[in-house]
Amino acid sequence: MKKFLTNTFNISESNAKLFSDSFERISLNKGEKFVTYGKVNNKVGFVEKGLLKCTLIGSKRSVVDGFIFENQFVANYYSFLRQEKSNKEIVCLKDSVLKIITRNKLEELSEYPFIESIARQVSEQLFISTSKKLEDIRLLNAEERYLQLVKINKNITNEIPQYEIASFLNVSPETVSRIRKKIALGY
Protein backbone atom coordinates (compact mmCIF):
# COMPACT_ATOMS: atom_id res chain seq x y z
CA MET A 1 0.00 0.00 0.00
CA LYS A 2 2.85 2.39 0.77
CA LYS A 3 4.24 1.98 -2.74
CA PHE A 4 0.78 2.58 -4.21
CA LEU A 5 0.38 5.75 -2.12
CA THR A 6 3.78 7.18 -3.03
CA ASN A 7 3.31 6.43 -6.73
CA THR A 8 -0.34 7.49 -7.01
CA PHE A 9 -0.40 10.54 -4.75
CA ASN A 10 3.22 11.67 -5.01
CA ILE A 11 3.75 11.77 -1.26
CA SER A 12 6.90 11.01 0.72
CA GLU A 13 7.58 7.52 2.03
CA SER A 14 7.25 8.75 5.61
CA ASN A 15 3.79 10.24 4.88
CA ALA A 16 2.79 7.06 3.05
CA LYS A 17 3.87 5.02 6.08
CA LEU A 18 1.97 7.29 8.48
CA PHE A 19 -1.16 7.02 6.36
CA SER A 20 -0.97 3.27 5.64
CA ASP A 21 -0.24 2.52 9.32
CA SER A 22 -3.59 4.16 10.13
CA PHE A 23 -5.43 1.43 8.25
CA GLU A 24 -6.54 -1.86 9.79
CA ARG A 25 -6.28 -5.10 7.80
CA ILE A 26 -9.45 -7.18 7.54
CA SER A 27 -10.36 -10.37 5.74
CA LEU A 28 -13.79 -10.85 4.21
CA ASN A 29 -15.17 -14.06 2.78
CA LYS A 30 -16.92 -14.39 -0.55
CA GLY A 31 -20.45 -13.02 -0.10
CA GLU A 32 -19.62 -10.81 2.88
CA LYS A 33 -20.61 -7.14 2.68
CA PHE A 34 -18.17 -4.28 2.93
CA VAL A 35 -20.95 -1.67 2.65
CA THR A 36 -24.51 -2.49 3.67
CA TYR A 37 -27.50 -0.97 1.91
CA GLY A 38 -29.44 1.39 4.18
CA LYS A 39 -26.55 2.07 6.57
CA VAL A 40 -24.21 5.06 6.61
CA ASN A 41 -20.81 4.18 5.17
CA ASN A 42 -18.12 5.30 7.65
CA LYS A 43 -15.08 3.56 6.22
CA VAL A 44 -12.86 3.51 3.16
CA GLY A 45 -11.10 0.35 2.09
CA PHE A 46 -8.10 -0.46 -0.04
CA VAL A 47 -8.28 -3.85 -1.76
CA GLU A 48 -5.01 -5.72 -1.25
CA LYS A 49 -6.39 -9.01 -2.50
CA GLY A 50 -9.76 -9.99 -3.88
CA LEU A 51 -12.65 -8.64 -5.89
CA LEU A 52 -15.77 -6.75 -4.86
CA LYS A 53 -19.00 -5.76 -6.57
CA CYS A 54 -20.97 -2.57 -6.01
CA THR A 55 -24.73 -2.82 -6.55
CA LEU A 56 -26.97 0.23 -6.80
CA ILE A 57 -30.30 -0.63 -5.18
CA GLY A 58 -33.48 1.09 -6.31
CA SER A 59 -37.11 0.66 -5.31
CA LYS A 60 -37.94 -1.41 -8.40
CA ARG A 61 -34.63 -2.89 -9.50
CA SER A 62 -30.96 -3.22 -8.70
CA VAL A 63 -28.02 -2.92 -11.07
CA VAL A 64 -24.33 -3.64 -10.80
CA ASP A 65 -22.67 -0.24 -10.53
CA GLY A 66 -19.08 -1.41 -10.69
CA PHE A 67 -16.35 -3.85 -9.76
CA ILE A 68 -13.50 -3.08 -7.41
CA PHE A 69 -10.21 -4.81 -8.15
CA GLU A 70 -6.93 -5.15 -6.29
CA ASN A 71 -5.05 -1.90 -5.61
CA GLN A 72 -8.22 0.17 -5.72
CA PHE A 73 -10.01 2.10 -3.01
CA VAL A 74 -13.58 1.11 -2.18
CA ALA A 75 -16.42 2.94 -0.42
CA ASN A 76 -19.81 4.43 -1.07
CA TYR A 77 -18.15 7.80 -1.19
CA TYR A 78 -21.44 9.71 -1.41
CA SER A 79 -22.71 8.08 1.80
CA PHE A 80 -19.30 8.60 3.39
CA LEU A 81 -19.18 12.33 2.60
CA ARG A 82 -22.83 13.18 3.17
CA GLN A 83 -23.33 10.80 6.12
CA GLU A 84 -26.52 9.52 4.51
CA LYS A 85 -27.78 5.96 4.30
CA SER A 86 -26.14 4.01 1.52
CA ASN A 87 -28.15 3.32 -1.61
CA LYS A 88 -25.50 0.79 -2.57
CA GLU A 89 -24.27 -2.55 -1.34
CA ILE A 90 -20.66 -3.58 -1.78
CA VAL A 91 -20.05 -7.30 -1.47
CA CYS A 92 -17.07 -9.59 -1.99
CA LEU A 93 -17.18 -11.74 -5.11
CA LYS A 94 -14.32 -13.80 -3.71
CA ASP A 95 -12.37 -14.00 -0.47
CA SER A 96 -10.73 -10.61 -0.02
CA VAL A 97 -8.19 -8.80 2.13
CA LEU A 98 -8.69 -5.08 2.63
CA LYS A 99 -7.05 -2.34 4.61
CA ILE A 100 -9.70 -0.04 6.05
CA ILE A 101 -9.71 3.37 7.66
CA THR A 102 -12.65 4.89 9.48
CA ARG A 103 -14.07 8.35 8.99
CA ASN A 104 -13.03 9.25 12.55
CA LYS A 105 -9.43 8.19 11.93
CA LEU A 106 -9.33 10.22 8.71
CA GLU A 107 -10.60 13.25 10.61
CA GLU A 108 -7.82 12.75 13.18
CA LEU A 109 -5.28 12.73 10.34
CA SER A 110 -6.71 15.86 8.73
CA GLU A 111 -4.11 17.97 10.55
CA TYR A 112 -1.57 16.69 7.99
CA PRO A 113 -1.69 18.70 4.73
CA PHE A 114 -0.92 15.64 2.59
CA ILE A 115 -4.21 14.05 3.74
CA GLU A 116 -6.15 16.95 2.25
CA SER A 117 -4.18 16.52 -0.96
CA ILE A 118 -5.00 12.79 -1.09
CA ALA A 119 -8.69 13.48 -0.39
CA ARG A 120 -8.79 16.06 -3.18
CA GLN A 121 -7.10 13.70 -5.63
CA VAL A 122 -9.44 10.82 -4.71
CA SER A 123 -12.45 13.11 -5.18
CA GLU A 124 -11.11 14.21 -8.56
CA GLN A 125 -10.52 10.60 -9.63
CA LEU A 126 -14.04 9.63 -8.58
CA PHE A 127 -15.51 12.58 -10.46
CA ILE A 128 -13.54 11.70 -13.60
CA SER A 129 -14.48 8.03 -13.30
CA THR A 130 -18.18 8.82 -12.86
CA SER A 131 -18.15 11.30 -15.74
CA LYS A 132 -16.39 8.77 -17.98
CA LYS A 133 -18.90 6.07 -17.05
CA LEU A 134 -21.83 8.37 -17.93
CA GLU A 135 -20.16 9.37 -21.17
CA ASP A 136 -19.50 5.73 -22.10
CA ILE A 137 -23.12 4.75 -21.42
CA ARG A 138 -24.28 7.49 -23.75
CA LEU A 139 -21.70 7.14 -26.53
CA LEU A 140 -20.45 3.54 -26.63
CA ASN A 141 -22.30 0.39 -27.58
CA ALA A 142 -22.36 -2.68 -25.34
CA GLU A 143 -19.43 -4.34 -27.10
CA GLU A 144 -17.22 -1.27 -26.70
CA ARG A 145 -18.11 -1.02 -23.00
CA TYR A 146 -17.40 -4.76 -22.57
CA LEU A 147 -13.98 -4.36 -24.20
CA GLN A 148 -13.17 -1.46 -21.86
CA LEU A 149 -14.08 -3.63 -18.87
CA VAL A 150 -11.85 -6.45 -20.12
CA LYS A 151 -9.04 -3.95 -20.70
CA ILE A 152 -9.16 -3.00 -16.99
CA ASN A 153 -8.88 -6.65 -15.92
CA LYS A 154 -8.14 -9.34 -18.48
CA ASN A 155 -9.33 -12.10 -16.10
CA ILE A 156 -12.73 -10.54 -15.60
CA THR A 157 -14.51 -13.16 -17.68
CA ASN A 158 -13.15 -15.87 -15.38
CA GLU A 159 -13.83 -14.00 -12.14
CA ILE A 160 -17.25 -12.44 -12.68
CA PRO A 161 -20.40 -14.29 -13.76
CA GLN A 162 -21.83 -13.30 -17.12
CA TYR A 163 -25.11 -12.08 -15.61
CA GLU A 164 -23.17 -9.67 -13.34
CA ILE A 165 -21.26 -8.26 -16.30
CA ALA A 166 -24.54 -7.93 -18.19
CA SER A 167 -26.09 -5.99 -15.31
CA PHE A 168 -23.09 -3.64 -15.23
CA LEU A 169 -23.30 -3.09 -19.00
CA ASN A 170 -27.10 -2.70 -18.77
CA VAL A 171 -27.70 -5.46 -21.32
CA SER A 172 -29.02 -9.01 -21.23
CA PRO A 173 -26.73 -11.98 -20.44
CA GLU A 174 -27.47 -13.20 -23.98
CA THR A 175 -26.00 -9.97 -25.38
CA VAL A 176 -22.82 -10.54 -23.38
CA SER A 177 -22.70 -14.10 -24.73
CA ARG A 178 -23.01 -12.80 -28.33
CA ILE A 179 -20.27 -10.22 -27.70
CA ARG A 180 -17.94 -12.88 -26.29
CA LYS A 181 -18.62 -15.19 -29.23
CA LYS A 182 -18.00 -12.39 -31.72
CA ILE A 183 -14.69 -11.51 -30.04
CA ALA A 184 -13.62 -15.16 -29.89
CA LEU A 185 -14.29 -15.52 -33.62
CA GLY A 186 -12.23 -12.41 -34.30
CA TYR A 187 -14.93 -10.17 -35.79
Say which residue, 157 or 51, is predicted with more confidence: 51
Q: What pLDDT digit, counting tens, does each position of 82-128 carry?
A: 999 999 999 999 999 999 999 999 999 999 999 989 988 888 988 89
Rounded CA-CA distance 40/79 in Å is: 6
Confidence of residue 137 (pLDDT cuts 50, 70, 90): confident
Q: What confidence category does residue 159 fall into, taking pLDDT thresholds of 50, 70 and 90? A: confident
What's 2-112's CATH class?
mainly beta
Asked whether the predicted pLDDT for residue 166 surpasses 80, the reply is yes
Task: For CA atoms 161, 164, 170, 172, give the dihedral sign.
Answer: positive
146-153 contact pairs (CB < 8 A, 24+): 146/176, 146/179, 146/180, 147/183, 149/67, 152/69, 153/67, 153/69
Q: Which pTM value belongs to this model?
A: 0.87
The whole-number pLDDT of residue 130 equals 86
pLDDT per position as a tens digit, 28-86: 999 999 999 999 999 999 999 999 999 999 999 999 999 999 988 999 999 999 999 99
